[in-house]
A and B are shown apart, each in its own frame.
Chain A
Amino acid sequence: MVRGVGIGLRRELMEPLLTTSRRVDWLELITENFAGLTGKPAVMLERFRSRWPLIPHGVGLSVGSAPPRGYLETLTGFIAKVDPPWFSDHLCFSSLGDRTWFDLLPLPRHDETVARVAAHVKTAQDATGRPLLLENITTYAEVPGSEYDEAAFLRRVVASSGAGLLLDLNNLYVNAVNHGLQPEALLEAFPVEHVRQLHLAGFSKDRGLLLDTHSTPVAKPVWQLYERTLKRCGPVPTLIEWDQHIPSLDAVLDEADTARALMDRFA
């Protein structure tokens, strides 16, 4: 059972995690850092799996183009090994043919994309036998050819594909600021009835834009969006996500405690 507040399993936090006495409800791991790998990653995976529920969170499924060669087979084996209640990836593309960019790249928001994503979600869910959650990504530019805004696109994708929504509130906030929208209005328009998991993270600023770097503490406006979301959705499993300038485990767990206290108010 995955409930409460988890943190991202990152290399810098591994050793402290194994010795901490503080509460950690579950862990989210980056699929590509463990899937199909033997040796040290497999050893570490077993150590953490024996103590906490693990949720694989991928960056490589590339539902907007197609999964890279061999990816789906590796993912399927990995999901069977970890046995999570769900797994997640992003509503984006990250590779095309034999090229991969290790980045979460935007898609044109129209019906052809909705159909393509739905087909890949179905393939992934059928192969793994587990529900797939798709995360809303940050975008720094509106790409040419879109017919829907972000909320309408998300609504169509989850309706057509059957995927759940991993709502990243930092991404929502970053997009709202970068595209001149009201974060609260954007949240209201999102299909929050499909939310199965939440992400909280921090952003950085560069050239007048907010960047989704996961390198700073969760910002106050994002906490406010979190409260609003909890009011609407109840105590959805929530992740504190850091990827750069990762602070001490205690600092990460302090944020997890803050999230848990808010979650308890809406349980």
Chain B
Amino acid sequence: MTPTLDTFLAEFGAMLDGRRTAREVESVLGPSPSGTARLGLYATLVKRQQTGAIDEFYAAVRVAAPAGYYEPLRNAYLEAYPPSHWAPARAAEHFPVFLEARKSSIELVELADFAWTRHLVLHAEATDALVVRHYTHAVKRFSNEVERDGRTRGRPEKDAETWLMGRSLLDGNLVMVEPSVAALVTVEVLHSGGWSDELPAIPRGVLLKEAERLIELGLLPPTSRAVLERLVP
């Protein structure tokens, strides 16, 4: 008797997830005319696809990890967080948290956080897209060297850095600046919609100049200077 479609999907899915072997699937569904090995090839292809996507997304983590560390970690991640959303990038979402929970080294956690944050910023609505991140290692430089220059060895140098990251309102590209205190205050005032006496005392003119610079970079809309003028005493 022909197995129902739902039985087929459940059994085949279990094989793709590694919960059944191809032989076990055949014992329920019947033999594949192409043979057990060919049927089992699908599990290999799916795994290759999923690991490849994580490897590409977190290329810098892969390069910086000690020998023999990355692949078991990535495989454990995919077991703990099997892809469940149709948008491919969502499969990478929990990797930074997973690394932290597994007590991976700080530079690996920071590299993963940088990759995911960059993705979030590029895919966020422009007005919500400003993010401040502090890292203890030079993750931006290292990631660029891996992704653009093909660097395949080494680790990011220890180098404390803070980044203001946003999606340019001018061209949609990622913009990253090392913000001054004045820039951070400017963003905070605009974001919260008001001045707070807990903020560092910075001359109004300096804040307005910072707003102009961030507007030029495409990180703030052109109206921000006028808004800031109203908000800063």
Which of A's residues lie within 8 Å of B, judged by CB? 32-33, 36-41, 43-44, 60, 64-65, 68, 70-71, 93-96, 98-103, 105-108, 110, 112-113, 116, 140-145, 147, 179, 209
CB pair B29 A112 closer than 8 Å:
no
CB pair A39 B4 closer than 8 Å:
no
* B82: min CB distance to chain A, Å: 6
CB pair B38 A100 closer than 8 Å:
no
Which of B's residues lie within 8 Å of A, judged by CB? 2-5, 8-10, 12-13, 16-17, 25-26, 29-35, 38-39, 41-42, 45-46, 49-50, 53, 82-88, 91, 121-126, 129, 167, 171-174
- In the complex, residue of chain A having the shortest beta-carbon distance to the beta carbon of B11: A144
Q: Identify which of A40, A107, A141 contacts B122 (C-beta below 8 A).
A: A40
CB pair B9 A93 closer than 8 Å:
yes
| Interfacial chain A residues near B31, Cβ < 8 Å | 144
Task: Enumerate 16 A-B pairs (CB-CB under 8 Å) in ascending A order.
Answer: A32-B87, A39-B125, A64-B9, A96-B10, A99-B13, A99-B17, A101-B46, A101-B83, A105-B12, A105-B16, A108-B5, A110-B2, A116-B5, A141-B32, A142-B33, A145-B29
CB pair A32 B86 closer than 8 Å:
yes
CB pair A141 B34 closer than 8 Å:
yes
- Contacts A105-B12, A145-B29 aside, 13 further interface pairs with beta carbons under 8 A come to A32-B86, A40-B173, A68-B85, A100-B86, A102-B49, A107-B5, A108-B2, A140-B38, A141-B34, A142-B34, A143-B29, A144-B29, A144-B32
**A100-B83, A101-B50 given as contacts; is B2 within 8 A of A38 (CB)?**
no
CB pair A145 B46 closer than 8 Å:
no
* In the bound complex, CA of A39 to CA of B49 (Å): 26
- In the complex, residue of chain A having the shortest beta-carbon distance to the beta carbon of B28: A144
- In the complex, residue of chain A having the shortest beta-carbon distance to the beta carbon of B50: A102
- In the complex, residue of chain A having the shortest beta-carbon distance to the beta carbon of B10: A96
CB pair B3 A144 closer than 8 Å:
yes
Q: Identify which of B26, B42, B85 contacts A100 (C-beta below 8 A).
A: B85
* In the bound complex, CA of A11 to CA of B5 (Å): 37
Most buried by B among A33, A110, A143: A143
* In the bound complex, CA of A108 to CA of B3 (Å): 9
- In the complex, residue of chain B having the shortest beta-carbon distance to the beta carbon of A43: B172
Q: Identify which of A32, A64, A93, A116 contacts B88 (C-beta below 8 A).
A: A32
* In the bound complex, CA of A179 to CA of B122 (Å): 44
* In the bound complex, CA of A39 to CA of B118 (Å): 12
Q: Identify which of A99, A106, A113 contacts B82 (C-beta below 8 A).
A: A99
Pairs of residues from A and B, 10 with the lowest C-beta to C-beta distance, nearest first = A43-B172, A141-B38, A144-B29, A141-B34, A60-B86, A144-B30, A142-B33, A39-B123, A40-B122, A141-B39
| Interfacial chain B residues near A145, Cβ < 8 Å | 2-3, 8, 29-30
| Interfacial chain B residues near A43, Cβ < 8 Å | 171-172
* B177: min CB distance to chain A, Å: 18
* In the bound complex, CA of A101 to CA of B91 (Å): 10
| Interfacial chain A residues near B35, Cβ < 8 Å | 141
- In the complex, residue of chain B having the shortest beta-carbon distance to the beta carbon of A41: B123
CB pair B32 A39 closer than 8 Å:
no
* In the bound complex, CA of A142 to CA of B125 (Å): 45
**A38-B125, A93-B9 given as contacts; is B84 within 8 A of A141 (CB)?**
no
* B63: min CB distance to chain A, Å: 20
CB pair A102 B91 closer than 8 Å:
yes
CB pair B16 A101 closer than 8 Å:
yes
* A99: min CB distance to chain B, Å: 6
- In the complex, residue of chain A having the shortest beta-carbon distance to the beta carbon of B7: A145
* In the bound complex, CA of A4 to CA of B126 (Å): 36
| Interfacial chain B residues near A108, Cβ < 8 Å | 2-3, 5, 8
CB pair A140 B41 closer than 8 Å:
yes
* In the bound complex, CA of A96 to CA of B29 (Å): 18
| Interfacial chain A residues near B25, Cβ < 8 Å | 144
Most buried by B among A99, A105, A144: A144
* In the bound complex, CA of A65 to CA of B12 (Å): 12
**A32-B86, A98-B84 given as contacts; is B5 within 8 A of A103 (CB)?**
no
| Interfacial chain A residues near B91, Cβ < 8 Å | 102
* A127: min CB distance to chain B, Å: 16
* A213: min CB distance to chain B, Å: 10
**A101-B50, A103-B46 given as contacts; is B172 within 8 A of A144 (CB)?**
no
Q: Identify which of A39, A68, A99 contacts B126 (C-beta below 8 A).
A: A39
| Interfacial chain B residues near A103, Cβ < 8 Å | 42, 45-46, 49
